[in-house]
Structure 1
């Protein structure tokens, strides 16, 4: 029953003859493609510039960060979802206690700062060595005074590309290789951004300094930024009270001190050994095993240490002709 329709459609389509592209055709198509690419780059660059300007304005104060947050929430979760202004006002009323909590605005400022850094990393095409000092400054400003957030740190845990700021400005698809999307991913910040350039240049003294900073900051995170509720995930606390460690955060920090920190110190010495500081690192590693002989990883450390210092079979430590 469909044949007449199909036949009529066939007659309506003009005959198309196979043909090859001429050199002029190819050049014209390539020129058009380049024009489309340049147009896309210009639009993306304009969007990034507009977003960066808004984000930097939001970083100016706690109040500015909250104001930008509310504007972005209204756009993403209400206007874009075809919800009314009344719905937004009702949501805002229910969120008033959280929005007024001490530390939330400051937390959002740090989230914006890391988002801007992430945008710069994306534009750098993964070459983030020049961003390492700024990444360290961002971490210093977070971990120097962890009480500043009054427990409101959840936004700093979340990937900045998932933030309402990124969504409002169409930046959710940013992808950057070897760049952590959250400033509380301390180990990744140091492993992917801070330490690699120092390692490549053999700057073992600077490596040790940054390793010690990493260990310190991971300890701060375990003490202040773990567990649920205030003093931990936060975001629901009331202003005026200092964050108090709960049983969960205390247990997390105790575990860090007894297990995680010694393992991080071991990783530091192993890294320094492989980066050229063999004598100092070897002495420190042996002493470390002695001091932490009951650690769950003590036997593993001993095996790794022997593999590092023992020359391959058939060779001696001091090879002679």
Structure 2
């Protein structure tokens, strides 16, 4: 069995200090020992960085080639799947061919290939985010375009939305290349709409001079959230000419409950960024329109606190 290079190097290091560790009396490290250990650690670190860098470069190149078409994506997926699920697990090639035969229709599905392509595209974006070391403020527009492309083909992708919801960082694409990617405040799923907007798209827009863009981003988020239920919800009723009868129940619930809640969050966000007058008028109109919404009492309280922060602080002092 091939021993990973890190283990080989570590073995040499351990063997080098073993005679010291085997002495009867415990000893402290000398300055010479520390220097020697530092040198060995630097070599290990460089070897590790070279290996990881090489893996990333090869993976990125293969991924970029694969996302050029749905068929190319499927070809890479099959190679990765065979490596992860069969080669690495010491399973027979014949078993892999049998798996492909059993899943022929699914693997030949154009929608399945498209879903995998979107997953791979998000993995590429995730790798770039990792390389930026958290500086992802410039990636918001690309993340939004990514969601637009998914919902542009929502009907075709419905059957394979589970692929889009998977953690792209632990997909077979990533596993096959031994990628160990961790990105702080980065959504791992290609379909994590809330996370993509909250963590990637909206943060850099929260400034007074970009409040218009922030509001537009909120509107796009609400549209994307609604499309999930509108396009992928189960429809009930087939009455011809009655549009409402054709709406999925999940979408109707979204329109009645979730959408008003998101609209309120949008106005609160814009108010706090500095667009106080417009947001206040919008919130007042919102309260009048959704007077019987279950969150209305909380909204009224929030609104009072926003427009009268000094009064709130005074009340708190009085209570003390």
Instruction: Tell which deviates more after alignment, 261-270 or 162-171.
Output: 162-171
1:250 corresponding residue in structure 2:
248
Among residues 25, 47, 53, which one is paired with 2:55 in the alignment? 47
> Which secondary structure state, in structure 2, belongs to the residue aligned with residue 295 of structure 1?
coil
Question: Higher relative CO (CA 8 A, sep ≥ 6), structure 1 or 2?
Answer: 1
CA contact 1:69–1:164 (8 Å) conserved in 2: yes
CA contact 2:233–2:249 (8 Å) conserved in 1: no
The alpha carbon displacement at 1:227 in A equals 6.0
1:178 corresponding residue in structure 2:
185
* Whole-angstrom distance in 1 between the partners of 2:44 and 2:307: 58
* Whole-angstrom distance in 1 between the partners of 2:312 and 2:173: 61
RMSD of aligned alpha carbons: 2.4
- Alignment deviations for residues 294-315 of structure 1 (CA, whole Å, 9 cap, x no partner): 1111111111111111132398
2:227 corresponding residue in structure 1:
220
* Whole-angstrom distance in 2 between the partners of 1:107 and 1:127: 28
2:278 corresponding residue in structure 1:
280
Structure 1 residues 66-215: aligned runs within 5 Å: 66-149=74-157, 151-171=159-179, 173-200=180-207, 202-215=209-222
- Alignment deviations for residues 2-59 of structure 1 (CA, whole Å, 9 cap, x no partner): xxxxxxxxxxx96344444343432332232222122211111111111111111211
* Whole-angstrom distance in 2 between the partners of 1:278 and 1:74: 56
* Whole-angstrom distance in 1 between the partners of 2:108 and 2:282: 49
The alpha-carbon distance between structure 1 residues 115 and 139, as it changes in their structure 2 partners (threshold 3 A), is: same
Query: Which residues of structure 2 form unaligned runs of 5+?
Result: 1-20, 236-244, 315-320
- Alignment deviations for residues 76-105 of structure 1 (CA, whole Å, 9 cap, x no partner): 111122211111111111101111223111
- Count residues in correspondence: 285
CA contact 2:270–2:279 (8 Å) conserved in 1: yes
TM-score, length-scaled by structure 1: 0.82
* Whole-angstrom distance in 2 between the partners of 1:192 and 1:135: 11
Give the 4+ runs in structure 1 shifted more than 6 A.
none
Instruction: Tell which deviates more after alignment, 17-26 or 103-112.
Output: 17-26
The alpha-carbon distance between structure 1 residues 299 and 123, as it changes in their structure 2 partners (threshold 3 A), is: same
CA contact 1:186–1:214 (8 Å) conserved in 2: yes
